[in-house]
Each structure stands twice: as C-alpha cells, then as structure tokens.
Amino acid sequence: MSEVSSTQLELNPSARKVLEKRYLKKDEQGRVIEDPESLFRRVAKSVASVERNYGKSDADISGTENRFYDLMTSFKFLPNSPTLMNAGRRLGQLSACFVLPVEDSMESIFEAVKNAALIHKSGGGTGFSFSNLRPSGDIVGSTKGVSSGPISFMTVFDSATEAIKQGGTRRGANMGILRVDHPDILDFISAKDNNSRLNNFNLSVALTDVFMKAIEKDEEYDLINPHNDKCVRRLKARDVFHLIVNNAWKNGEPGVIFMDRINQCNPTPALGQIESTNPCGEQPLLPYESCNLGSINLSRFVSEQAGMQGSTEEASKRIDWDALRETVRLSVHFLDNVIEINKYPLEKIENATKGNRKIGLGVMGWADMLIQLGIPYNSVDASNLANEVMKFIQTESKKQSSFLAVERGVFPNFDESIYTDETAVRNATTTTIAPTGTLSIIAGCSSGIEPLFAVSFIRNVMEGTKLYEVNPHFERIAKERGFWSKELIEKIAEQGSLKDISEVPDDIKKAFITAHDISPLDHVRMQAAFQKHVDNAVSKTVNFPHDASSKDVEDVYMLAYGLGCKGLTVYRDGSREEQVLSTGKSESSSDTAEFEKLLKDSVATGKITPRKRPDVIKGTTRVMKTGCGNLYVTINEDEEGNLFELFTQMGKAGGCASSQAEAIGRLVSLAFRSNIEPIEIEKQLKGISCHSPAWAAGGKIASCSDAISKSIERYVERGNKSNGSGNGSHPKKETAIYGACPDCGGAVEHEGGCAVCRDCGFTKCS
C-alpha cells in the first residue's frame, strides 16, 4: 500500500467492497495499492493545494487539507465519484456532469459524438438536447437529401458510448432530451418500446408551459420545425401527454422535464437558454458547462438523545444546526476548489465551467435522519422538516459563496442586473440534489432523499455465499426493545418491508417505512419540499406498485408540475421485461414432491404417451445465477415449435444440487413431451425456496427450481404467441437485461433515474 494512513476508518463490508472495486488505485496487474484512508488523504491534499493560488501559507494549506480529510472521513460530506477517483492522479478529471450542444449539421453532430467519448473516457456523463435537429423526412438543403431525424443520430451516440465502458470503473451515461413541440416527438416518446436500443440513454421530454396549458384546456398545440421555425402540424396536447404517461407506465421512460421552469431559474440568462441536463436530470447546464457535485450526510447531524420523538419542533431541537452550518460552508469551499484543480477534457468546457463556477451541494441520509427523529417519511412533519433543512443548507451555502466572492472574486459571468453587491456570489449555483448511489454505500447511509428501499436485504459476498444486511438503526432499536432475532431478519429480507411483520411494533413500522409502502403522491410531495430551496433540480424516483394504473402516473406528473418540481422520473415495479428488483414471496407454495407425483401419476395411468424425440431439435441455453452457483438451462423445441426437453448443467457445483437440478430437468422434459402447458410447469416450480437465494436477471431467484421456472417463463415470453396447438413458441432475440447487476448479479434499485447495485456499487449512470 502507498501513503498508508495512521488511522483506520470504520467501514462496513459493502463500503470496503465498493471502494476496492471502483475507487482505490490499482497497479497494472489490477492489484489494489491504496487503502481507503490514503484515498481520502490523496483527495484532501489535492483539493487543498488550490489555496496556494490565493496566497495562503503552507501552514494554512496543511490546515485546510486536514479539515477536508476530516470532512470526508467523518462521512459528513463526500464529493461526486470522479473527484474521489481522480483527484491527485494523472487523469485529474473531477466532474460528473456535462452538457454538450448538438446543432443541425453533420459537423456538430459528430463533434458532439467525439467530445462525448472523451468525457465518458474521463469518467463523466453527458446530456444532450436533440431539439435543434431537423425532423425525419425533412429536405437537407446542401445535398437535397432527406434527414433521418434525431432518433437515428441518437443511436450513433448510443453505440459510441457502448464502445467506451470507461475501463470498468464508471460507465458512460447519457441524457437525451427532445422538446415536446418537435415534429418527431411521437417517435421519441416511444423510442424505448424496444429495449434493445438506446440502453445508454435516459430519455426525457422537455415540456413547455404552452403545452401544459393546452393539456389543461384540452387544446391542440403546434409542432415546430427547428430548421425554419414553421409549424408543420398540430396535435392534441392530451393525446401526446397520455402517450408519455403510458410509456412511462410501461417501462419508466421517458421522464419529463419542465424546461420553462428550469429557465425561469437560469442564473445567467444573457448567456442563453438551458436546453439539457445531466444524465439523471438534476443538473441543468448550458452548452459545454460541467458541474461538480457533493452530498452532505444528514444522518450525521442528529444529536444523541434517548427515545424517538415525533414532531417537527422536537426534531428541529435534535438537529445539530451548528455542526451542519460548519459542514455546509466547508463543503462549498471544497467544491469551489475542485473547479480550480480540475483537468477538463475540453478547453471549451473549462472556459464555460470557470465562467459560471456552478457547484451542486446536495444531501444523502435523509431517510436515516427521519428514522432517528421518529418521523414517518410520508408525513406532513417530514415535508416541513425537509423544507426547513434544505432552506438552511441553501442559505448557508450562499453565505459561504459570498464570503469566497469577497476573498477570490465573483464568477466571471456575474450579471450585475441580477445580483447586487450584497448578493454577489462566487458560484452561479450552489445546490443540487443528485443520486448518491455508491457514495451512500461508502458513507453507510440511505440514498439521496429517497426512502429506504428495504429494511433488510440479502447481500452477495461471493458466489454461493449470502449475508443479510440490516439497517443499523433498525438493528439498534430492535435489540433495545427486545424483538430482535435472526428469524425476524430473514423474514424481513424476504418481504422487503415491515408492513406485514407482526413481530414489529406499529410505531417502528411507521418510522421504517420503505419506498413501496409510500404512495406516489407522497414521493412527489417530498421532492417538491426539497425543490423549494434548491438552485438546480432534485433527482428522485417516484415508485409505483406493479398494479398501478396509467392514471396514477398521470396524476403524479400533474402534481409535480403544480408543486413546482423541475422534472420527474417514475418507475412501476416489474414494468420492464427484466425486473430490476422486487420484494415479496411468490404466490405459489407448491414443492417439488407434489410436481413429481403429478407427473408420475399421469404417466402411470397410461393416459398420456410422451412424444418420441425427433431427429432434428433446436433451442437455447440461458445462464441463471443461483445460490448454488451458475445454473445453465437448455430448452429445446421440436420442428413445430413445441417445447420438448430441458437440460441443466450446474457449472462447477456437483453433488446434491447438481443431481436435483438434473432430476427436475428430466421431469420437466417428460412434462413437455406429454403436452402439459408450460405455464402449469412454471406454477409448480415457481417460488420454491431454499436456504441460499440469489438476486439475478428478473429479480430474486429463490432456488434452482425457481431458476428453472423463470427460464421456461422467459423462453415462452420471448417467443411468438402460441396459436392454441401444442405448447411451444419460437424464441425471439434477447433484449437488454435490467433485472440484476451485470457485474455481480446483486440486487439493483432505482434512484433518481439511475439503477444502483448496493452490493458492488455498479451504476448504469455516470
């Protein structure tokens, strides 16, 4: 190890795993050569070195370095991931968020593709507005050819992003935005009907005030060709809005961004209108701007008092406001320094970023703070406290930015018509609430302003080995109040929520409410409460149960607009072909013995004669992650498309698990050849549990039997619908997997338009 620190940080196993895999320095053989303490010292030293630019002494610089180190190692604040990864290293690119312009020319389009590749390679994510591109079918004057439109060019960006992959530490991520009045808007809204394309993009529709008023009045609105500003068509606003809603209901996209509201808050309107945001939507930026983000861990600012309170007034007394003020001010100082030390991927980005000096200080650990205070997430008291806490952070961040303006100067694009001498600031913006993904894993707290996803869940340690991860506040309270047990934790991990756990007292259930126990409208109200005191925007996912209707989605969009939000991301549980994460048991409780008896009895009576194997047979093999290791399931069908046989291979495992899987395969094959409908086989095997479940594509794999059931289900789902004869279907091309972490197979949860693995820190967003 290099630069080994004398102190040892207290990190939980997940935090250490994430740091080792994604943040700590490695040698050319991929071996870790840095410990966590050295990482934070490296970052603190690099960021503090900026003080020399302002005439500070070596003693002052050393003092600032120590304050920055303590700030991070206390986990009161962490900067965005590129800063942790790259500060003090050769690459030196410290920003997470970038926006690149895309103008209506081949030169501009492919310049943007090239620049995006450079940004992705350096660890950043990119946002684009494609609203300036002429629509498909439009005549190109220079060549008299026909334009292919924005969506076709988006696939070029998507392919370039796929090719980068950023060395395995951070993946390229994009935001694609199209104005609702663009002529190609209908195709854009439906662009992700096919999950095999644009997988490196989040999509959002830029909604205008004109469009929202047209919805309210049930009127038509104009589609404008950006090439000549002429109206080419009129559409009924409610029809377009319903298409947006229905697609979001189906698979979570597109999101919506209220672009006029964003520009009402544009701190530098003289420089132009904001047209795009970063990949998760919380950071609106002008072309070539970047932003440096960081998050305060609110769970660290609750004073130690026995018992759980329950009112906003009591909660306010228990928050250590003095410590929070000190942390806000030091964090703003830290982020302003990052702008100076940053090595920008393009000169244009450096000029735009230093011209406005935007920073985005946000929060994480909000759900933990509420739990410590005994305030239910979905209560009025919680919304009131959110308003109070964020107003305090906003006010103190402005005071510190004003102090830095006196010491170092205002940002160069400072507009005296907007700011006065009394309100002069160093940074055009100071607050943003971003997804905290891996940062919250490192800090050991809840993500962003999201509620808990689960009180307890199963964490991958290594293939075939699982550990139960429990919210530390719940563990402490359960032990204090005497209802802690291993069996209880296993039960909670299976359910995900405390809702139906009779052993847990009602007051604890209210405090430890999870994302799927909260109504979508309450999700929006919490987002709106924070947005009131945030310069930029708030990244948050509004979770819906699987049985939610499209009208439910419509209602939250309208509420978000009415309450002053700047955008919204929704996710309905199980809405994508491959489920990201669902909790709860299967309705089926049948076991293997019952299934075997059914088959044996039917064959023994002579009522069914299994079909003989033909000379030619075809099929596919799917790998399924199970608690016993990788299970390879081969399903074959005959020439008429009927499912015929199923084989299993247990990877490196052997013994009992392998023999049982083989036995199930033989019995399933017998059922196929006896014309038993696959759905009946699925029902018998589905949900059978063993002591070692796993999280994989499609959600939880409860056992090898359950894995075989899911393999059959997916084979049939991807085939053409049966015409009523036989039991089979022809396989279709595989689509993108959303159901599990592609790195470790662990559980993946939605957060602010992003998917994050709590096991290894994988995130689909930069």
Structure tokens at 222: 């104009």
Polymer length in residues for the chain: 766
Query: Three-state DSSP class for 253?
Result: coil
Concerning whether 760 is annotated as a catalytic residue, the answer is no
Q: Which of 26-40, 53-67, 743-757 has the lowest mean pLDDT?
A: 743-757
Gap between the Cα atoms of 206 and 194, Å rounded: 21
Give helix then strand counts, H and E, for the chain: 25, 25
Residue 672, CA distances (Å) to 579, 635, 675, 687 in order: 27, 10, 5, 20
Concerning whether 280 is annotated as a catalytic residue, the answer is yes
Domain co-membership, 648 together with 665: yes
Gap between the Cα atoms of 460 and 466, Å rounded: 5
Q: Which residue matches tokens 């799917």?
A: 622
Domain co-membership, 203 together with 265: yes
Domain co-membership, 598 together with 716: yes
Please tell me the total count of domains within the chain: 4
Q: Is residue 221 part of a domain?
A: yes
Dihedral of the alpha carbons of 286, 152, 280, 119, in degrees to the nearest 10: -60
* Among 237, 261, 277, residue at a domain's last position: 277
Q: Is residue 66 part of a domain?
A: yes
Which helix (H) or strand (E) covers residue 700, if one does? Answer: strand 699-701
Q: What is the mean pLDDT of residues 716-722?
A: 59
* Among 277, 299, 321, residue at a domain's last position: 277
Report the phi/psi class of residue 584: left, alpha or beta, with left for phi > 0 and alpha for psi in -120 to 50.
Answer: left
CA proximity to 255, closest of 582, 538, 581: 538
Q: Is residue 570 part of a domain?
A: no
Gap between the Cα atoms of 132 and 103, Å rounded: 6
The confidence score (pLDDT) of residue 319 equals: 96
Q: Which residue matches tokens 């701190």?
A: 267
The confidence score (pLDDT) of residue 703 equals: 84
- 3-class DSSP string for 345-378: CCHHHHHHHHHHCCEEEEEECHHHHHHHHCCCCC
The neighbour count for residue 219, using CB atoms within 10 Å, is: 14
CA proximity to 352, closest of 98, 48, 111: 98
Which helix (H) or strand (E) covers residue 196, if one does? Answer: none
Domain co-membership, 384 together with 368: yes
Structure tokens at 127: 């946002």
Query: Three-state DSSP class for 74?
Result: coil
Structure tokens at 97: 């968020």
Gap between the Cα atoms of 450 and 475, Å rounded: 20
Gap between the Cα atoms of 624 and 647, Å rounded: 13
Contact 392, 327 (CB under 8 A): no
Query: In sequence order, which residues have a C-beta less than 8 Å from that of residue 513 and are 6 or more positions away?
Result: 376, 377, 378, 451, 452, 497, 498
Query: In sequence order, which residues have a C-beta less than 8 Å from that of residue 203 and are 6 or more positions away?
Result: 175, 176, 177, 178, 188, 191, 192, 253, 254, 255
Task: Choose the catalytic residue: 282, 289, 450, 645.
Answer: 282
CA proximity to 526, closest of 551, 561, 563, 562: 563
The confidence score (pLDDT) of residue 516 equals: 84
Q: Is residue 154 over pLDDT 60?
A: yes
Domain co-membership, 162 together with 180: yes
The model's pLDDT over 677-705, given as tens digits with 9 standing for 90+, comes to 888 888 888 878 775 677 655 567 878 88
The confidence score (pLDDT) of residue 699 equals: 66
The residue range of the domain holding 465 is: 454-513
Query: In sequence order, which residues have a C-beta less than 8 Å from that of residue 236 and are 6 or more positions away?
Result: 218, 219, 220
The model's pLDDT over 398-450, given as tens digits with 9 standing for 90+, comes to 999 999 999 999 999 998 877 766 779 999 999 999 999 899 999 999 999 99
Structure tokens at 300: 């660290």
Q: What is the mean pLDDT of residues 160-185?
A: 81
Q: What is the mean pLDDT of residues 614-639?
A: 82
Domain co-membership, 188 together with 155: yes
The model's pLDDT over 258-267, given as tens digits with 9 standing for 90+, comes to 999 999 999 9
pTM of the model: 0.79
Structure tokens at 182: 């663009």
Q: Is residue 104 part of a domain?
A: yes
Beta pairing partners, 139? 146
Task: Choose the catalytic residue: 278, 378, 636, 642.
Answer: 278
* Among 419, 443, 467, residue at a domain's last position: 443
Gap between the Cα atoms of 160 and 436, Å rounded: 26
Q: Is residue 157 part of a domain?
A: yes
The confidence score (pLDDT) of residue 10 equals: 86
* Residue 696 amino acid letter: A
Domain co-membership, 345 together with 494: no
Domain co-membership, 237 together with 303: no
Domain co-membership, 342 together with 200: no
Structure tokens at 731: 């396989």
Q: Is residue 203 part of a domain?
A: yes
Domain co-membership, 235 together with 360: no
Q: Is residue 449 part of a domain?
A: no
Domain co-membership, 627 together with 759: yes
Domain co-membership, 61 together with 128: no
Q: Is residue 564 over pLDDT 90?
A: yes
- HSE (CB half, 13 Å, CA atoms) of 678? 28
Task: Choose the catalytic residue: 97, 280, 628, 741.
Answer: 280
CATH number of the domain bearing residue 348: 3.20.70.20
The confidence score (pLDDT) of residue 724 equals: 42
Q: Is residue 529 part of a domain?
A: no
Concerning whether 278 is annotated as a catalytic residue, the answer is yes
Gap between the Cα atoms of 452 and 91, Å rounded: 35
> Among the ranges 302-316, 718-732, 734-748, which has the highest mean pLDDT value?
302-316
CA proximity to 465, closest of 625, 583, 624, 628: 628
